[in-house]
């Protein structure tokens, strides 16, 4: 197959014709693209430029697409252009690729306005809430199924998950909570020294740690450590089609992946919270011993007087809800992953942000509720 080199034939001062002949294939027409484009660059706005197809024997789709793209570019530059003289079989190809349709200007892309952005963000947020609540409902159905048929759950993954989310998190949880107690003690010591109320630093640190900071800081650490890991693991399984393979073999992702991780967090996060409370109080005690001339016995006695069992229990109750938020949101984001490695990274980031928002929201609701119960 061969292509006769195109000839540019002037018709008059304002019209020219590009004559094509032979058999046009994409492999042969492709190298001619630069030459044709250079030829068309000479055409001025307001002129007419036609493609003479009368001597074309055959043309394939790739070549026709190139010619249609050239014609469209001419139309957008204000140059009238048509395919003329085409045999019947070539004319059918021209019509198939819309080579006989008038080409309009490209639509100008309008930047979204403030209201558009606000509306899109709101819709995206509402869709996210709908997905999370739908996922929560599916998890409850799977939980009821496991209660009725315990053997259907993936129990063998429970202990390894508890080890990864609980035991492996002990060093960072203890360090962070100790530093939080230390900082709270120093901040309180500055003010309490002015009034000679050094001993009350135990009340300040003990109550703030057990009620709020211990459960919340522990949950934040676990969300960044285990929540992100859950989302990344399940997201990688989703994009590599391992989730589809599990469904094919009859293993539902809820019972096989979500419930073991959720139950593991529900079991280990209260324990980590209690450990965080203890080391946080020890951090405050360190300040009392070094800066406020307190004794270990005096600090411990004052802490026991200030803290009631309900203060510790309220933090543990929060930690259970925190564990549900971390596990369910992370697993939901993982199962919603699409788009390969980039999608995994995007969903992992989104899971951490969503979990932090959920933790703060749950903590605020429980704080208001407990305050209302006490009053």
The verdict on residue 297 lying in a domain is yes
Tell me the β-bridge partners of 336. Answer: none
Regarding predicted confidence, which is higher, 263 or 52?
263
Judged against a pLDDT cut of 90, whether residue 40 lies above it is answered with: no
Q: What is the mean pLDDT of residues 72-77?
A: 78
The verdict on residue 108 lying in a domain is no
33 pLDDT band, cuts 50/70/90, is: low
Whether residue 236 is found in the same domain as residue 310: yes
Of 83-92, 201-210, 263-272, 320-329, minimum mean pLDDT range: 83-92
Judged against a pLDDT cut of 80, whether residue 161 lies above it is answered with: yes
The number of domains in the chain is: 2
Q: How many CA atoms lie within 13 A of 331 on its CB side?
A: 25
Give the pLDDT score at 173.
93
Judged against a pLDDT cut of 80, whether residue 99 lies above it is answered with: no
Q: Phi and psi of 50, rounded to 5°?
A: -115, 155
Those residues with Cβ within 8 angstroms of residue 64's Cβ, 6 or more apart along the chain or in another chain: 24, 93, 94, 96, 97, 99
Judged against a pLDDT cut of 80, whether residue 36 lies above it is answered with: no
Residue 36 belongs to domain with CATH number: 3.30.750.24
3-state secondary structure of 51: strand
Whether residue 222 is found in the same domain as residue 355: yes
Whether residue 82 is found in the same domain as residue 150: no
Alpha helices in 166-258 (DSSP H): 170-192, 201-208, 214-222, 228-239, 242-248, 253
Q: Which of 96, 120, 135 is the last residue of a domain?
A: 96
Regarding predicted confidence, which is higher, 84 or 30?
84
Q: Phi and psi of 8, rounded to 5°?
A: -95, 110
3-state secondary structure 58-89: EECHHHHHHHHHHHHHHHHCCCECCEECCCHH
Q: How far is CA 93 from CA 7, 75, 233, in A?
A: 22, 20, 50
Give the pLDDT score at 14.
55
The verdict on residue 112 lying in a domain is no
3-state secondary structure of 11: strand
Q: What is the pLDDT of residues 306-321, one digit of tens each?
A: 888 888 998 999 999 9
The verdict on residue 103 lying in a domain is no
The verdict on residue 48 lying in a domain is yes
Whether residue 41 is found in the same domain as residue 172: no
Instruction: Return the top range by mean pLDDT from 5-19, 206-220, 283-297, 331-345.
Output: 206-220
The verdict on residue 241 lying in a domain is yes
The verdict on residue 238 lying in a domain is yes
Whether residue 322 is found in the same domain as residue 185: yes
Of 12-16, 26-30, 307-311, 340-344, minimum mean pLDDT range: 12-16
Judged against a pLDDT cut of 70, whether residue 54 lies above it is answered with: yes
Give the pLDDT score at 11.
46
Q: What is the mean pLDDT of residues 234-253?
A: 84
Whether residue 269 is found in the same domain as residue 192: yes
Q: What is the mean pLDDT of residues 254-259?
A: 85
Q: What is the number of residues in the chain?
A: 375
Give the pLDDT score at 107.
65
pTM (two decimals): 0.69
Whether residue 174 is found in the same domain as residue 270: yes
Whether residue 198 is found in the same domain as residue 345: yes
Q: What is the mean pLDDT of residues 268-296?
A: 90
Residue 300 domain boundaries = 146-374
CA-nearest of 258, 198, 218 to 234 is 258
Whether residue 92 is found in the same domain as residue 152: no
15 pLDDT band, cuts 50/70/90, is: low
Whether residue 92 is found in the same domain as residue 151: no
Tell me the β-bridge partners of 22. Answer: 3, 56
Q: Which of 61, 96, 131 is the last residue of a domain?
A: 96
Whether residue 222 is found in the same domain as residue 297: yes
Give the pLDDT score at 34.
67
Judged against a pLDDT cut of 60, whether residue 251 lies above it is answered with: yes
The verdict on residue 127 lying in a domain is no
4 pLDDT band, cuts 50/70/90, is: very low
Whether residue 154 is found in the same domain as residue 56: no
Q: What is the pLDDT of residues 346-367, one digit of tens each?
A: 888 888 988 998 899 999 998 8
Q: Which of 37, 69, 96 is the last residue of a domain?
A: 96
């Amino acid at each position: 197959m061969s292509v006769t080199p195109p000839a540019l034939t002037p018709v008059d001062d304002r019209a020219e014709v590009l004559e094509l002949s032979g058999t046009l294939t994409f492999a042969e027409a492709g190298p001619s693209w630069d030459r044709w484009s250079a030829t068309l660059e000479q055409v001025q706005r307001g002129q007419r430029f036609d493609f003479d197809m009368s001597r074309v024997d055959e043309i394939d789709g790739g070549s026709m697409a190139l010619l249609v793209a050239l014609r469209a570019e001419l139309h957008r530059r204000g140059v009238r252009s048509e395919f003329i003289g085409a045999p019947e079989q070539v004319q059918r190809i021209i019509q198939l690729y819309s080579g006989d349709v008038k080409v309009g200007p490209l639509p100008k892309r309008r930047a979204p306005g403030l209201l558009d952005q606000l509306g899109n963000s709101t819709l995206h947020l509402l869709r996210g809430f709908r997905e999370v609540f739908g996922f929560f409902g599916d998890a409850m159905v799977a939980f009821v199924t496991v209660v009725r048929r315990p053997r259907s759950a993936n129990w063998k993954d429970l202990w390894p998950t508890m080890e990864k989310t609980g035991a492996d998190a002990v060093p960072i949880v203890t360090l962070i909570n100790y530093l939080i107690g230390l900082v709270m003690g120093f901040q309180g010591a500055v003010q309490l020294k002015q009034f000679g109320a050094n001993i009350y630093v135990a009340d300040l640190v003990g109550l703030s740690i057990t009620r709020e900071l211990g459960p919340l800081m522990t949950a934040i650490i676990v969300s960044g450590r285990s929540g992100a890991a859950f989302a990344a693991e399940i997201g990688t399984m989703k994009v590599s089609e391992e989730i589809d393979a599990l469904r094919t073999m009859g293993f539902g992702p809820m019972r096989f992946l979500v419930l073991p991780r959720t139950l593991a967090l529900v079991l280990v996060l209260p324990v980590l919270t209690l450990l965080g409370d203890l080391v946080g109080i020890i951090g405050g005690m360190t300040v009392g011993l070094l800066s406020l001339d307190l004794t270990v016995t005096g600090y411990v006695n004052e802490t026991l007087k200030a803290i009631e069992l309900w203060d510790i229990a309220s933090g543990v109750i929060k930690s259970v809800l925190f564990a549900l938020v971390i596990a369910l949101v992370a697993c939901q984001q993982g199962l919603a992953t699409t788009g390969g490695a980039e999608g995994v990274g995007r969903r992992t980031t989104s899971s951490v942000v969503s979990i932090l928002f959920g933790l703060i929201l749950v903590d605020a609701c429980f704080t208001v509720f407990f305050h209302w119960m006490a009053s």
